[in-house]
Amino acid sequence: MVENNNKIGFHYAGSKGWLLFWVIIFFRVALILFFLNGRFVKGEKTYYIRYNGSQCWLIFWFVAHYPVAFLLLFLNGVTFWSTQNRDNLYTNKENLYTN
């Protein structure tokens, strides 16, 4: 069986109610919330993004005056990391033993 590893999955770890509210009211805030509390799954890896400063101030400055928010992103930094998906590891192990 051939698996399609080109699919990208998005998962949001925060309140989906707030995310929906901000999608309707002000899309930029929803986008920032999604990227700060989300994870992206592609193939056998999961990618995370974490802002190292206060998320409340970042959202405030994106609403009030977004160039300041970009300065906050650059000054406080953003951490990117990835992990292996355990489900895919176990599936691949089983496939190794059955082939």
CA nearest to 8, candidates 44, 49, 35: 44
- Structure-model confidence comparison of residues 2 and 11, the more confident one: 11
Q: Strand 8-12 and strand 38-42: pairing?
A: antiparallel
pTM of the model: 0.59
Residues 6+ apart with CB under 8 A from 4: none
Residues 29 and 35: their CA atoms lie apart, in Å, by 10
pLDDT per residue over 41-97, tens digit each? 888 888 888 888 888 888 888 889 888 888 988 898 888 888 887 654 444 444 444
Domain ranges of the chain: 8-98
Model confidence at 18, pLDDT cuts 50, 70, 90, reads: confident
| 29-55 pLDDT per residue, tens | 888 887 777 788 888 888 888 888 888
CA distance 49 to 40: 9
